[in-house]
Structure 1
């Protein structure tokens, strides 16, 4: 009489084990990136920012050349002007090239743990971070690392900066940038917001 009972219990036990394995898989996948993975992401950000900077300069000014400092605030000589001066025009071009590189490379490894230019705001009453499409009272960081499939649970924020001209050693931490990064820090996260530049890589204040 006991044998049929054991036979009936078999599939039930198997389903319980399968459910536990699925749950364990969900727990393993649904998380923040670990330190090694975060370091890998930052290596990708450094590489993409350097490549974008070189690619745009080479295409516009010739291989190994860049715009002189004296031209940065002048009107760009371009068929399609993206900004009224070279500094911002180049910044837009280099951001676009870097974003394409970052999207491609991070999507291969961490497709559910990053977002490019999400618009976020912090609710003044609940203090929760919310995804929004409204500009007023919101911020739009360049790159956000986040909990799996949850943009509003922030792990780290990165902002790409492309200095104009030959002043490659210039300090990127202007007063304006400090204010910007302080605002990003108020959104929360596990690490301080970081700048990513072609010359200095990932830097935190």
Structure 2
């Protein structure tokens, strides 16, 4: 019996140490500030490369579609959308996603997801992965807790202005509404736009 009395405090101490270590590991599974900056650098680089790559392939080196054509039907063998604006957006998203997948996987393989579909549970209000379209959202890029896309750090949405729309304000009412909806999923930072011309853009968090 005395031996049992002597062992119990030691066992309790071991449990406390294990819990403390687990806490440190849990914290380390989030990306820190410098790592998030590295992620954003990769996102901006990939978006710019995808924008240039698709434009060069379709319109020639250093050229892009004129603004006047953006709303017209695309001239292409495989039309991805009814207008040039949406057609190019799909192609550029695909090119950017491929770049992002390759480069982020090399550095932060467990801390990002491309186009996860998320929703809040109506009862618990927990964020959940889902395959249901109704009541769910699908951000382009989610940076999150290691191997857990529902523990969100930051959300990013890729935007590719059509034609020469370099100076166009990207914060249209539709985009503001979309980003506010992403913000309600939670996270450490307000959702951000990533554009080839303006890089990372954020608004203040919605209350």
Matched pairs, number: 186
Partner of 2:64 in structure 1?
66
Q: TM-score scaled by structure 2?
A: 0.86
Aligned position for 1:165? 163
- Matched with 1:108 is 106
* 1:39-118 correspondence runs (5 A): 39-118=37-116
Whole-angstrom CA distance in 2 between matches of 1:108 and 1:178 = 32
Deviation at 1:32, TM superposition (A): 1.0
Structure 2 residues without counterparts, runs of 5 or longer: 1-13
**Gaps (5+ residues) in structure 1?**
1-15
Q: Does the 8 Å CA contact 1:30/1:148 hold for their aligned counterparts?
A: no
Instruction: Report SS of the residue matched to 2:193.
Output: strand
Alignment partners' CA distance in 2, 1:32 and 1:155: 8
Partner of 2:177: 179
Inter-partner Cα distance in structure 1 for 2:148 and 2:24: 14
Q: Secondary structure at the match of 2:76?
A: coil
Measure, in 2, the Cα distance between the counterparts of 1:160 and 1:33. Answer: 20
Q: Secondary structure at the match of 1:101?
A: helix
In 2: Cα distance, 1:24 partner to 1:179 partner: 38
TM-fit CA distance, 1:31: 1.8
Q: Name the CA distance, whole Å, in 2 between partners of 1:144 and 1:24.
A: 24
CA contact (8 A) 1:29 1:148 kept: no
Mapped partners of 1:24, 1:72: distance in 2: 53
Distance between the aligned counterparts of 2:31 and 2:83, measured in 1? Answer: 39
Asked whether the 8 Å contact 1:121–1:137 carries over to 2, the reply is yes
RMSD: 1.7
1:122/1:25 CA distance change after superposition, 3 Å: closer
